[in-house]
Structure 1
């Protein structure tokens, strides 16, 4: 019975195969439902990326059929297959393997329905095989291309082509960790459909173009880890849809523009490691959706009191380390109930710490080291135990912890214990000491660290005399 069912299945499969083959017809043009020029352009473009050894001879019945090219996707337009995506590089185990010396062939720009083009870890040798992105022909893809990405290609050098500015349908432009350099083309600001612009980890120089403020649909904007300079353009206030803004690790200078308050949807603002100055602008208070604010390693200066921190009630990460802050730490920070990380280290902060900081329910790391904070830490012992080394208060010379902590394991690292309080004697007490009335003044002796019943002989009287002179 089982043999009969198997034979029946085989016959049915053969019948379906023959029916499909007959529908395609006998001619070669009918067997391959792909426009001839499209197929030739695809094969030539792929050979440029993977090497001339590849010829597609193993594909059946066409490059988009049962055995498609790895990394290539297709779709049907007017009854014919057309290429819609090319992804070159080791993104998956079976992806197209890049040739040692890749080349961009002009046939790439003949793929008139191409929506996605990406290269990952292909151009790897800036010395032996440096390659530049072609400047010409990008306008041919203006009617279709929506995503263009070059990731982790250190051998990809030169400038960003101005032709990118003609890709009017582009929604994602990602050029991350390549060897690109030069100034950013201002006409990228023409790409009004962009939702993601990531140009991080290159060698870009010059200013951020004012035209970038026209990208009103932008959600992700990342120019980090370059050598960009100049001030932040006020036009950035036009990025009203923006969720994430990362300009960290550049050489940007000047004040934060007041227009930054227009970014009501912003959840991340990372400007660390620049040369920004001019104090904390009140405009930050308008970023009501902000979850991460990182301004560390700048020359900003100013005081924490200038900001009403309770307005930023969504903050999870607040890192203002090493920005030249002065003054006291306001209690309003203790109202940030979602805060998990608070970094205020390496500033010039003064005054006493409010015990209310320990009441933050989500706080997992608090760094106050490298300031001029004073007084006794008022946090409960359980707070030190929970935070461990994630509580940093060292290098505050006049800060101390109470000697009553039960366990050495919870002693805050690098903080000295508070001295016991010394009680100064009234002037007439000197007469009582001279008369040997020690019992009435045993509290004074104890305050110096000696037990009252341990005093014996003239040597101790002399020692006490020296202490009295020192205090008076």
Structure 2
């Protein structure tokens, strides 16, 4: 009887606990449904929204307020002290029922009264850089510094002028994205104060000047994208200390200097995109230390030097290797055939010479190989199966002394590789005599 009595007491306690928890949950849901929005908060929100979408909007279809039963798409709220406050404001055509910006848009000072704001996003909101150019307010950003963790302006060609140095007050920011706007000028050094950033994207603007040395303080960065601007000068030495970086994209700028000596310490990097710059000094052996790289893209830089000098098979994670138009000389190393994950190999428009290593065809995942515009010689030693697999993604044209053996073609493979001439009979026989064609 003692045991069953204990079981009875335990059951009663559990039942009471369940009833209490359900009551608490009901009370929470009820309080959330009935919690009012602070009047000053609602007035500030309405004015800020009207600055972007027009004074016609008055929230008349919202009940009982923007955080109630009919919230605005792109606006999120949270309860603090029994009142609703705005935590997310996203304006622009992201969803079917999103708030879309008007022709005449403006940043109103009431935006900075939303002191609980955690995320602010303006997408495709400022459209015309000639008829209605808008600049980012230079002041009051410190008023949002207590909570703002994400700030994004995307696809706003009418958003012009410079990044305000006051962004440096937003020290809780984890994501700063200024993508494809009309912003100009130099990147302010105060961005280096945002030491909690894990994503910094300033791509697709018209920024000039050098990359600030202060970026070396952004030790939490995972993604740094400054591509498609007009930045110039050398890479700051401090970039080599950003050891958490996973993706570094500086493509389509006017940066110069030697590449790898001071960024080889970025051993977690999976993407390095420096295409279309002015880097020189050859391919340093330091690149082989970046063993996590999956995409290495250096095309359209006057690098020069030999590709043969590196033992490429150390970079076992490489999926994309693009060295097109980099002034490379010498022969293509057989060690490239050890990159078993490689899918894309671009070596076109260089000064490469010698024979093409036949083992490249053994790469299991390779689906694009471009060797066009070099001085390669001899007989292509790939099978018709390889040509069938690659199709137009095999490029070997503009190598005047390169040919393919007609004997390697089958009745189902009527055409040889594009732009490569068939070998003359005597040429092919000499190639076999010298052991250039494998079995």
The question of whether the paired residues in 2 share the 8 Å contact of 1:232 and 1:257 is answered with: no
Q: 2:406 aligns with which of 385, 403, 420?
A: 403
1:133: Cα distance to partner? 0.4
Alignment of 1:385-464 (within 5 A): 385-404=388-407, 405-407=409-411, 408-421=413-426
1:214: Cα distance to partner? 1.4
Superposition TM-score, scaled by structure 2 size: 0.88
1:58: Cα distance to partner? 2.7
CA deviations 1:296-327 (Å, max 9, x no partner) are 01101111123221111100000100000000
Is residue 88 from structure 1 mapped to residue 96 from structure 2 by the alignment? no
Alignment of 1:45-444 (within 5 A): 45-404=48-407, 405-407=409-411, 408-421=413-426
Return the alpha-carbon distance in structure 2 between the equivalents of residues 105 and 251 of structure 1. 37
1:368: Cα distance to partner? 0.5
1:112: Cα distance to partner? 1.0
Return the alpha-carbon distance in structure 1 between the equivalents of residues 278 and 197 of structure 2. 28
Return the alpha-carbon distance in structure 2 between the equivalents of residues 104 and 422 of structure 1. 73
The question of whether the paired residues in 1 share the 8 Å contact of 2:279 and 2:303 is answered with: yes
Structure with the greater alpha carbon radius of gyration: 1
1:378: Cα distance to partner? 1.2
CA deviations 1:251-303 (Å, max 9, x no partner) are 11111141211111111101101111111111111111100010001101111
Aligned match of 2:4: none
Gaps of 5+ in 1: 1-18, 25-29, 424-472
Partner-residue secondary structure (3-state), 1:48: helix
Aligned match of 1:426: none
1:51: Cα distance to partner? 0.9
Structure 1 vs Structure 2 CA RMSD: 1.8
Return the alpha-carbon distance in structure 1 between the equivalents of residues 211 and 309 of structure 2. 28
CA deviations 1:65-121 (Å, max 9, x no partner) are 111223211001111110000000100010012111111111111111100000010
Return the alpha-carbon distance in structure 2 between the equivalents of residues 57 and 355 of structure 1. 72
Return the alpha-carbon distance in structure 1 between the equivalents of residues 340 and 228 of structure 2. 32
